[in-house]
Chains A and B, each alone.
Chain A
Amino acid sequence: MLISSSYSLISTFNSWLSSGNILLNILALIAYGIFISIILSVYDYLFGWAERKIIAKVQLRHGPTYVGKFGILQNLADVIKLLAKEHIVPDTADKFLYAIGLPAMMAISVLLVLVLPFSPYLQATNLALGLLFVLVLLSFMPLFIFVSAYSTGNKFADISAQRSVLMMLSYELPMLIVLASVALLSKSFNIAGIISAQSTGWFVWLMPIGFIVFFVAMLAELERPPFDFLEADSELIAGWLTDYSAPYYALSLFLDYTRMLFGSLIMAILFFGGWSGPFLPPIIWLLIKAVIISLFIIIIRTTLVRMRIDRMLKFGWVWMLPLSLVNLIITYMVFIH
């Protein structure tokens, strides 16, 4: 009942979008925005809680237990606390850049929604070059980390900024080449096209090397361990976030999980057949896949030691880049040629 009514709702909105009436178009987009916000908030909130619980289980602890059942309201309490605290802007900060850095990153993350579809009927646009758009948005991230880090005027943040450039050099290129081989294999830059090309077999089976390289690059993109050089808590205190306090810090936490959601969604779409799957509605399938990938990312966090930044550069150029090229060549020779 719920599914069929939601389908009728979606088709109503879609008809509004294609009606040509500007007012109806705007209404449909607002409805889509509300839907995305709900998904984002629920995911961010639940993963904020789940990450603490999972890590606690691995570490033989309990995690949050007091606030709400199983401590599920703990993060809400934390966010309320952070919002209530004094927001301190350091004297050394470049006030303008300091103010826009984190919100800009959040905006860029959310912009990914424009091209990432949740189901065949639930998407904002259907760009022909959607994959390129994703890549452009992803490469904006290190730039804004760099800007926010320098804007605080903190020396630990300065080191973090230098590291962000080094890191971008090491993982961006392999990631791009893997994306190229995905486009080559599906003969399309369109996200829906990539998903329909996987109806015969997921790309993770067709190019496992490519997936591994992409996954590692994605971990680096998301600043997840073992590549959390920028926030390296035992070295740089909190890296580029050292001087961000109260509401901005809450925003950074929110940003962290939002990026993880989009990272997982991109991987689910490019390698795990996106929304395709039997019985359940497409959006459920896509979210299930994304959640499993996110859980995997969290479990990696509990076990691995942080790499060193210069080794990361070496790792990127000596291993990831050749492997991604090998993947591209194999893809071309086996599946296209």
Chain B
Amino acid sequence: MHLMRVVIDVPVRINVGPIHPSTHGVLRLVVDVEGDKIENMEAHIGFLHRGVEKLLENRMYMQACPHMEKLDYFAPMSYDELYVAAVEQAYGIELKEKAMYVRTILLELQRIASHLASIGFLCNDIGQLFTAFMWSFKDRDMVLKLLEAATGTRMFYVNMRIGGLVRDLPPGFEDSAIELLDYLSKRIPAYEKYLEKNPVFMERNKGIGVISRDEAKNLGITGPVLRGSGVSYDIRKNKPYYVYEKLNFRIQVRNEGDNFARYKVRMLELRESIRIVREALKKMPPEGSAVGMPIRLIGPPVKNKITITERELPRGECMIYLVADPQRPYRAYIRSANFINLSAIEEMCKGQRFADIFSIIGGLDMVMADVDK
């Protein structure tokens, strides 16, 4: 009898994904549930593997940028910049000051766009019918429009060149940027009011998916997830690059280690990013050009054969280990923050309720393209 079968199979093993509305792409979770409680869980990845590292080995240095951007489609420019910075380090090229400021501004705007999207996704995953999602995506879109004005495309920018950028900031960029930042600094408290005064939102996030300080360190978690667990670690402060040293901002840390702490860290980082962009716009030298070198097929001689470049991306610390040949990378290893952060999901989900899996995925802010590479 059919009904009998259901009674006997306890715990029930369920495949969540790879085709599921809220696994942020193609994550497959094999979950053993007893009633509504998660007994055991196993994450399976690799459905979106494209072999980006191998692709990089078969391309000239500057042909690889579009591939890097597709790793994290919510912060493409950050990945682009990480790769170009790695190549610059291999060639030993120093940036002009103007180019450093422009890159900092664009990267922080990209971080704002990415964090806004993540807040929308979190609300969506815990079962709100796309309202916060649509609102935050509207605000993200305004940031994307500004980036479009600066780079020429809306999403996949390919705007970095060795030694600078493809083009200077357009005239009038500063005014429209400040206008946007004013608007966003009004919107962010509105989001907080809307979400944090909602008891159901708090209930679904407080105390869910707790990961302690030590566990987070042991697992190698980075980014807002790590800072939500009370570790004050941010590459922008700890190993500063570009002009972050000259700018005044703080690392935002929360000690709870739960889903709400991760959300809150992102909210606070949005404010910090707005501060950084404002200050960088003020301090940016008015003269000079930010344009980098034109693309050449045969590069200058490689100065540093083996380099490691680290950057603080919106989802955490990413790293490229680059073994350089004159024309193309001999080997490029990418440490993606998402992949490492995902390794904590089994730890976080054990003992939680079935519905909490999705708030935890939302809190981790997964991008599966980045995990599977």
Q: Are the CB atoms of A237 and B129 closer together than 8 Å? A: no
Whole-angstrom distance between the Cβ of A272 and the nearest chain B Cβ = 27
* Closest-CB distance, B346 to chain A (whole angstroms): 18
Quick check: is B308 within 8 A (CB to CB) of the other chain?
A: no
Please tell me if A86 contacts chain B, counting CB pairs below 8 Å. Answer: no
Report the Cα distance A310→B198, complex, angstroms: 18
B contact set with A: CB distance below 8 Å: 2-3, 6, 12-14, 20-22, 33, 35-36, 123-131, 133-135, 138, 198, 200-201, 203-204, 353-358
Q: How far is the CA of A334 from the CA of B124 in the complex (A)?
A: 45
Q: Which bucket holds chain A's interface residue count?
A: 35 or more
Q: Residue on A with the closest CB to B126?
A: A305
- Provide the residues of chain A in CB contact with B134, threshold 8 Å: 59-61
Residue A119 lies at the interface, judged by CB distance under 8 Å to chain B = no
A-B contact count (CB 8 A): 97
**How many angstroms from the CA of A233 to the CA of B129 in the assembled complex?**
9
Residue of B with least CB distance to A157: B6
Contacts of A225 in B (CB 8 A): 127-129
Q: Establish whether residues A305 and B200, one from each chain, have CB atoms under 8 Å apart when the complex forms.
A: yes
* A60 and B126 within 8 A (CB): no
User: B13 to chain A: closest CB distance in Å?
Assistant: 8
17 contacts between A and B (CB under 8 A): A55-B129, A55-B130, A58-B131, A59-B134, A61-B134, A94-B2, A150-B3, A150-B6, A162-B36, A225-B127, A229-B355, A232-B355, A234-B21, A235-B22, A305-B200, A307-B204, A310-B36
**What residues on B are CB-neighbors of A94 within 8 Å?**
2-3
Tell me if A221 is interfacial: C-beta within 8 Å of chain B: no
Asked if A187 CB lies within 8 Å of chain B CBs, one says no
Complex contacts, B33 vs chain A, CB 8 Å: 159
On whether A306 and B131 interact (CB within 8 A), knowing A60-B138, A162-B35, A234-B125, the answer reads no
Q: Which residues of chain A have C-beta atoms less than 8 A from B6's C-beta?
A: 150, 158
Closest 9 pairs between A and B when the two form their complex, measured CB to CB: A306-B127, A59-B134, A234-B22, A305-B128, A305-B200, A94-B2, A305-B201, A155-B14, A308-B355
A301 to B129, CA, bound (A): 7
- Considering only CB atoms, which chain A residue lies closest to B194 in the complex? A303
- Are B12 and A59 in contact (CB-based, < 8 A)? no
Asked whether A159 lies within 8 Å of B354 as measured between CB atoms, the reply is yes
- Digit string of A210-238 for contact with B (CB within 8 Å is 1, else 0)? 00000000000000011011001111010
Q: Are A306 and B135 in touch, CB under 8 angstroms?
A: no
Interface pair B198/A235, CB less than 8 Å apart:
no
Q: A55-B130, A59-B131 are in contact. List 13 more A-B contacts (CB 8 A).
A: A60-B135, A60-B138, A158-B12, A159-B14, A159-B36, A234-B124, A234-B125, A235-B22, A305-B128, A305-B198, A305-B200, A310-B36, A311-B203
Contact A306 B126 (CB under 8 A): yes
In the docked arrangement, what's the CA distance between A162 and B35, Å? 7
